[in-house]
Amino acid sequence: MKDQLPLIMNNRAGMIQELKKAMELYSDLGFEYLPLKRANILNLISGGAVLDYKPDRGSPSQQVAEQTADYYSNKETALEELRNEIGDCHRCKLSTGRKNIVFGEGKADADIMFIGEGPGRDEDIQARPFVGDAGKLLTNLILKLGLQRQDVYIANIVKCRPPNNRNPEEDEISICGPFVERQIAIINPKVIVCLGKISAQTIIRSKITISKLRGNFHSYNDIPVMPTFHPAYLLRNPKDKWLTWEDMQKVLEKLK
């Protein structure tokens, strides 16, 4: 052990140098944190990684780059696997009237995840969330926040269109709800925005009205949740748009 010490010190210094370079590179690229595995960091701190560290496995900056790529592609793969698991779902009665399952779309590693209620007519046809009139309002809101649709993730509580756009019923929510919960677990967003009563009440498990819930942060598994009005409500009540705008400012503030 005594003989190994200078070697450890040398390698350790070299490794920290390499890691520092990698950190600087990622910081220049705009990364605010690196999704390193906890064990690797603990190893590094304790010096354990120094003994394990073999330069021929690639420099730490290469290893960090590979892990980062893995982290993002793992989320995409996990979402794909979840979609495959849902399959041609017939778990509830909504399956009988739908044309398409609307799984959700967007960035697998999004900071903001919007959750609506369930697909409407246009979404059912196109198999994409929020593409009808309410969707256009949501897309505009996202753009006005300085983001693109592809920067966020958009999903619904139920993945099949309820007949005549009625509210999803309790049995449908309890059968389909676990899928959106798994989407949340995979994406692990920094903030969830619940669009409308059904989404907010389901995610934060509350019976309080949307007018009372909106505007304040709630919590889902330690993720801050901002309930706000559903875009379809805002189409009918444009005078309330500023309230949703205010809610979204709080979301942006939270992300700083």
Q: By CB under 6 A, name the binding residues for ligand URA.
A: 116-120, 123, 129-130, 134-135, 156, 232
- Three-class DSSP category at 195: strand
In the complex, what is the shortest distance from the CB of residue 113 to ligand URA, in angstroms, rounded to a whole number?
13
**Which of these, 117, 93, 104, lies nearest to 182 by C-alpha position?**
104
Nearest residue (CB) to ligand URA, 53 versus 103: 103
The radius of gyration of the chain from alpha carbons, rounded to an integer in Å, stands at 22
In the complex, what is the shortest distance from the CB of residue 192 to ligand URA, in angstroms, rounded to a whole number?
14
In the complex, what is the shortest distance from the CB of residue 37 to ligand URA, in angstroms, rounded to a whole number?
35
**Which of these, 113, 99, 22, lies nearest to 60 by C-alpha position?**
22
Nearest residue (CB) to ligand URA, 161 versus 218: 161
In the complex, what is the shortest distance from the CB of residue 77 to ligand URA, in angstroms, rounded to a whole number?
24
Nearest residue (CB) to ligand URA, 53 versus 114: 114
CA distance 130 to 156: 9
CA distance 245 to 234: 11
Residues with Cβ within 8 Å of 237's Cβ and at least 6 positions away in sequence, in order, are: 229
CA distance 165 to 173: 14
Nearest residue (CB) to ligand URA, 60 versus 132: 132
Residues 12/3, Cβ–Cβ less than 8 Å: no
What type of residue is 82? L
Residues 199/116, Cβ–Cβ less than 8 Å: yes
Longest Cα separation, the chain: 77
Nearest residue (CB) to ligand URA, 49 versus 175: 175
In the complex, what is the shortest distance from the CB of residue 233 to ligand URA, in angstroms, rounded to a whole number?
10
Nearest residue (CB) to ligand URA, 53 versus 153: 153
In the complex, what is the shortest distance from the CB of residue 198 to ligand URA, in angstroms, rounded to a whole number?
8
